[in-house]
Amino acid sequence: MKRVIIFGDISRKQKILHENDYHYFVKQLLLIPMSSENPASSNTVLTAPTATTPIHRPRRLRRTATLRRMVQETILSVDDLIYPMFVMEGEEQKIEITSMPGCYRYTLDLLLKEIAEVSRLGVGAVALFPVIPEAKKDDTGSESYNPEGLVQQTVKAIKEVVPDILVITDVALDPFTTHGHDGIVDENGVILNDPTVEVLVKMAVSQAAAGSDMVAPSDMMDGRVGAIRHALDAAGYIDVRILAYSAKYASAYYGPFRDALDSAPKFGDKKTYQMDAANSREAIKEVVLDIAEGADIVMVKPALAYLDIINKVKNYTNLPVAAYNVSGEYAMIKAAAQNGWIDEKKVILETLTSMKRAGADLILTYFAKEVALILAGRSSGGCFG
């Protein structure tokens, strides 16, 4: 005879389960404590009290710090971090960026010292962004592929002083153009795609020739990844990788970065080439194209307001996925911390962990050095735990 299972308070309401639910709820009986004086039998009618002692207690695994560490699903490591850095011409200068407290423009001599320090802390990669004097800017960004240019000289110097660190170079025209756009502009203010790609190719090859380990096209021109890959291979740089800014959104979070490089567009905005913040399916389209064109790593930028996009991209591809914890995200945390509104170290770690949890394998972050210090302090039992 089948047992009839009744769930709920039998004195007020009875609910006899449909036969289709029988097998499911038989399994649940294993979770209902039975009295040894009145064990269930084949003809027992059972009721689960509305207020009963819980069998599953997730809090058991949260009880001690050791247990929490053992079952932690996402672990942030210094190996996940890429440190974006700003380099400028001159000597012995270090200028703080007003809207990015704790971030600086460095002349090459001081940049090398900073890179050596972060390398000792375990940060394995830096991403370079140049501050170009107005006198060297023009409408086509020709300084970008000067073999003796600031970026090229910086790469060479880094490779001489800290040869083991991975150097990533930005491929975009906005730091080099008088108008501040990522591409060549015609007389009607239209960003020209294909002529821009031709310049980007020259730029990427010149960076590879200087010793760049990875070029990172951030311009969002159509077809630029394939063109760069073809040109690198043709020039013999088959091992130079491409980190593609695949899903780069037209975002208000970039403001402090443009302050750092003095590269804000002099007219209009970047919405004709960067993605609409409201779109998610389009991100996959861009990722698909970049992978087909030869990208080695794909990126989502910004990160914090786009965790859903990071997750979508991660679920789509087996390639490594990078996320850019951008300047506006950095500045918000710094501002709140300076006002005493948040615990800065805890918020930094929580923020970056959320990006990794969403699917980021690599995180470009201005917090890289701070996080390296925090994690080092934690592992040695220091004050940052």
248 is an active site residue: yes
Residue type, 105: R
CA distances, 108 to each of 88, 101, 161, 274 (Å): 7, 20, 11, 31
Q: Cα-Cα-Cα-Cα dihedral of 350, 354, 360, 362, to 10°?
A: -10
Is the separation of the CB atoms in 234 and 201 below 8 Å? no
Phi, psi of 166, deg, nearest 5: -80, 125
Per-residue tokens: 354: 């959320």
137, 270, 301, 334: the catalytic one is 301
| Alpha-helical segments (H) within the chain | 22-29, 65-70, 108-120, 150-161, 193-210, 224-234, 255-261, 281-293, 307-316, 327-338, 344-358, 368-379
> What does the block give as tokens for 187?
């007389």
Question: Which token pair is 300?
Answer: 């989502």
Report the C-alpha gap between 18 and 308 in whole angstroms. Answer: 39
Which one of 137, 248, 312, 314 is the catalytic residue? 248
Residue 302, preceding peptide bond in cis (omega within 30° of 0)? yes
| Catalytic residue positions, numbered | 248, 301
